[in-house]
Chains A and B, each alone.
Chain A
């Protein structure tokens, strides 16, 4: 009786897991990278994040905002970990609007680490108007906003190819193998040697795609490393406590069995 119920339950759990697996692999066989930050012990690679920031700054930032990030984030633990001087210099290379001053006028000043990332367009409508009717999405949480996450972003960056002969494409729209619907209004943003990495790494398209995706993942989840670290400690603690409580429970219940 009890065994049958257990078998029934196991079958059901098996069915659930299979269905869950099916639901997730519905993401069109995207490219998969062995990310350093994946898995329960995942961590970011500092130099990859710094290169990724360079790609964002030189290639993407002209159209894509990252409004929830501040320049000081670039220096905090668990991220690219630029030095304080580097962070100040990066910030100072941008101009932000401030004010009003005592005359009532708005003015511009160099950005400080406490300022948010400067946006390329003053508002969404301006962004749409400047990009052929499509809005270049803000990338602060983009990796979490797409099923498939980092793998999906990487796949789209690497997925530009010649469209199939029978595929209808308007002017200003490009074919992408992994994009949802296969159409994207952004032309391929990366190509070999597009930028020169300051650390000398060979700037192939794949390398830049990998680095900027890692950077975007950090931008979406800046506390990932702390989360993994704390999680490991919490689960080990719970296992220890559960073991102690288990034996306490057995000890207490032995009194009932003894009273037979």
Chain B
């Protein structure tokens, strides 16, 4: 895997490394040639790793005090908040950490969409990333059920009920998920077990995600291929590590703002009411990071149709590398795609807002429009752009761009450069 042989400086190090090349791995990661023109949008991978570790550590600690039983769960969370030393802090870090995790993952995904990081040869990195995203949503959904508040219970009821839409076996599947005839204690205990498991599955996928990344190397803001190592790259440590740490500290300031000064603003007041199977809340809403999918789900009057469309929204994301036909990677050189990208951002934000509103009247109408546009973007616009868009000429190299602040077009046909570099 490494281009050069790393030799540890100490005898003990050499003994260890000969038997398990962890020190070589460390050297590989530390020396890893990274494009020197990466901007701050590239710091979110490191931020996401921090988020995952934070959630795992605080989660394991919370699990020392939480009781996964329908009669005791709500009370055990209150005990954590009131009696456990620093329990309030660990709990608020975990609940707000989930939101910060999704904020970072959305920025990370949109970075990839803008700069074409999902395009060949990085399709598998993108797909592994999508799997991580799906597991994140599953973990977050189940985690939200654990405090056993009104939203925990009714959110679980609504989402598990979706599976009854499956023809023939739907009802059996739901009963199987519930472990009973409604969301109840068996559902809670199994969600706790899976909620503990999934982050470690995510951890494994993150390792694969980074491994797959290190084959072609990082993409960069101008999206052109670079050789590594070269004058276009810098070693990961200390150049990228220090920048990642700086960006992480900025992120942590925002995180701390929520945890210490507004720890419940992203949540729902109804979840401080203990779960009551006899009383449905006026508006059942998932946490903010699931709202766009919720809006798509509710935009279809048919139950099965809504479920299919919701999973379809994920599916078009997964196959994105094959939908976007443009041979130019980065939106920096794709003036038309850039416009559509921002419209897409607004569309997703609108879907999120509409997901929080009641599914009626003007809200339902707009949710349908924005849902249709969402699919239009992936199925019609992106494939078409590859053929119709006139892209800007690409620079010959990153260094040229940095040196001159601009560049002269090397070739009249921009796609010719990429083909040659392949």
Contacts and interface: CB of A to CB of B under 8 A. Distances in A.
Contacts of A231: 256-257, 259-261
A145 B273 contact: yes
Interface string A125-156: 00000000000010011101111010000000
B257 A241 contact: no
Contacts of A228: 260-261
A68 B78 CA distance: 7
Contacts of A241: 249
Contact of A15 (B36, B81, B349): B349
Contacts of A5: 338
Nearest to A4: B338
B88 A227 contact: yes
B234 interface: yes
B89 A230 contact: yes
Given A73-B82, A144-B264, A227-B89, A235 B257 contact: yes
Nearest to B353: A19
B146 to A, nearest CB: 16
B356 to A, nearest CB: 7
B78 A140 contact: yes
B336 to A, nearest CB: 13
Interface in B226-275: 231, 234, 238-239, 242-243, 245-246, 249-250, 252-253, 256-257, 259-261, 263-264, 269-270, 272-273
A139 to B, nearest CB: 11
Where chain B touches its partner, the secondary structure class is helix
B260 A144 contact: no
A223 to B, nearest CB: 5
A23 B264 CA distance: 15
Interface stretch (A28-36, A89-97, A104-112, A247-255): A247-255
B210 interface: no
Contacts of B269: 144-147, 149
A258 interface: no
A68 B80 CA distance: 11
Where chain A touches its partner, the secondary structure class is helix
Interface string A237-252: 0110110011011001
Interface size class of A (residues with CB under 8 A): 35 or more
A234 interface: yes
A15 B282 CA distance: 26
B259 A245 contact: no
Interface string B47-77: 0000000000000000000000000000100
Interface in A17-54: 19, 23, 40
A234 B81 CA distance: 20
B16 interface: no
A11 to B, nearest CB: 9
Contact of B246 (A40, A223, A245): A245
Contacts of B36: 256
A256 B253 contact: no
Contacts of A226: 88
Interface string B18-59: 000000000000000000100000000000000000000000
B342 A238 contact: no
Interface residues of B, number: 42
A223 B89 CA distance: 9
B169 interface: no
B272 to A, nearest CB: 4
A238 B270 CA distance: 33
Contacts of B82: 68, 73, 222-223
A248 B242 contact: yes
Nearest to A253: B239
A242 B249 contact: yes
Contacts of B81: 223
B128 interface: no
B332 interface: yes
A121 B422 CA distance: 77
B75 A68 contact: yes
A6 B354 CA distance: 25
Contact of B253 (A239, A252, A260): A239
Interface of A: 1, 4-5, 8, 12, 15-16, 19, 23, 40, 68, 73, 137, 140-142, 144-147, 149, 180, 220, 222-223, 226-228, 230-232, 234-235, 238-239, 241-242, 245-246, 248-249, 252-253, 256, 259-260
Interface of B: 36, 75, 78-79, 81-82, 88-89, 92, 231, 234, 238-239, 242-243, 245-246, 249-250, 252-253, 256-257, 259-261, 263-264, 269-270, 272-273, 282, 332, 338, 342, 345-346, 349, 353, 356, 403
Given A145-B272, A226-B88, 4 more contacts: A8-B345, A23-B356, A227-B263, A231-B260
Lowest 8 CB-CB distances: which A-B pairs, in order? A231-B260, A145-B272, A242-B249, A144-B272, A68-B78, A141-B272, A249-B242, A223-B88
30 contacts: A4-B338, A5-B338, A12-B345, A12-B349, A15-B346, A68-B78, A68-B79, A73-B82, A141-B78, A144-B269, A145-B269, A145-B273, A146-B269, A226-B88, A227-B263, A230-B260, A231-B257, A235-B256, A235-B257, A235-B260, A238-B249, A242-B249, A246-B246, A249-B242, A249-B243, A252-B238, A253-B239, A253-B243, A256-B239, A260-B403
